[in-house]
Amino acid sequence: KEIVLTGITTTGTPHLGNYVGAIRPAIEASRVDSNETYFFLADFHALIKCHDPARVQQSRLEIAATWLACGLDPEIATFYRQSDIPEIAELNWLLTCVTGKGLMNRAHAYKAAVDENLSANQDADFGVTMGLFCYPVLMSADILAFNAKKVPVGRDQIQHIEMARDIAGRFNHIFGEHFVLPEAVVGEDTALLKGLDGRKMSKSYNNTIPLFEGEKKLKKAINKIVTNLLEPGDPKDPEDSTVFEIYQAFATPEQTAEMRQKFADGIAWGQAKKELFELVNGELAEAREKYNELMANPAKVEEILQAGALKARTRAQSLLKELRESVGLVNFK
């Protein structure tokens, strides 16, 4: 079977970008018989950006409930919290010891922090923790602990998966072929959804459209999407429109073609946003109800995650045993 794995960092409320970039394709992959799927809450990763325990805890529940509400079947996919799998932390160290510092210097997340510091005339590494610097190694451990081949993600994560490939290749070169080289799977229409302000939709930019915060909030957020000043009747360019881009991520090809025509015919922004809301809300309404039920029943979510952790650990333990032997950590006889 082909192993498909992906995770979401538990630092905020899940948004449409997470849904179209990762959750939806991952759940589709879990329904294909020839796949074996692993989905998880990246709660160790959350500690890199967030030192507010209540927020991390709340986000873990929200993201778990989101996966389940969107149709993840825990009988089919293995669904767990990263922090419940100590083997991931152990593998993180084995990988750290073969990862060049120079490779980590090139990681986007670290470089962005450095650039920000330099432009504020601060020391380059001001506020940079080792967690942030080594973030791609931990992500490699997530992927390699299960020897995943396919990783469905948005475009912003491609570099990290390429790094996981590099690190896996390096380990294999030194200690023998233990790892499959992973690949990112990125959808064409959904590679990187824009947010309210036209930048990448991201928790860190505060420009997200939340998935399940209710119909009213969804409508309000969609109405806030920034548009240009064209009036009703003026032809509009779909390629340069966040409204169109999000529409396309939820529409059938026929619906997209119709909307493209409406843009050419000069649809009013208010009308386009109304149609966008109806489309998105139609796809999410049923899942939102399930989400609310799960949020009201955290014990049920806990039970599912503990069962998932057990399955995941069994798998990771046998690989870790093999890896420990390969690096020379073997019991004396």
- Residues at the interface with ligand TYM (CB under 6 A): 5-9, 17-18, 20-22, 42, 45, 139, 142-143, 151, 153-154, 156-157, 190, 192-193, 200-202
CA 143, CA 299: separation in Å to the nearest integer? 28
CB-wise, 6 or 236, nearer to ligand TYM?
A: 6
3-state helix, strand, coil in the chain (%, to 5): 60, 10, 30
Beta strand extents in the chain (DSSP E only): 2-9, 35-42, 78-81, 150-152, 183-185
CB of 148 to ligand TYM, least distance (A): 8
CA 94, CA 178: separation in Å to the nearest integer? 13
Annotated ligand binding at 13? The verdict is no
Nearest to 8 by CA among 65, 51, 53: 65
CA 81, CA 308: separation in Å to the nearest integer? 8
Annotated ligand binding at 201? The verdict is yes
CB of 232 to ligand TYM, least distance (A): 29
CB-wise, 262 or 313, nearer to ligand TYM?
A: 313
CB-wise, 267 or 291, nearer to ligand TYM?
A: 291
CB of 235 to ligand TYM, least distance (A): 27
In order of 74, 133, 209, 259, the CA distances from 225 in angstroms are 35, 33, 9, 17
CB-wise, 23 or 320, nearer to ligand TYM?
A: 23
CB of 104 to ligand TYM, least distance (A): 14
Annotated ligand binding at 208? The verdict is no
CB-wise, 66 or 267, nearer to ligand TYM?
A: 66
**First and final C-alpha spacing in the chain:** 36
CB of 240 to ligand TYM, least distance (A): 17
CA 323, CA 58: separation in Å to the nearest integer? 35
CA 8, CA 45: separation in Å to the nearest integer? 9
Annotated ligand binding at 78? The verdict is no
Residues that constitute the known binding site? 9-11, 17-18, 142, 154-156, 193, 200-204
Residues that constitute the known binding site for L-tryptophan? 142
Residues that constitute the known binding site for ATP? 9-11, 17-18, 154-156, 193, 200-204
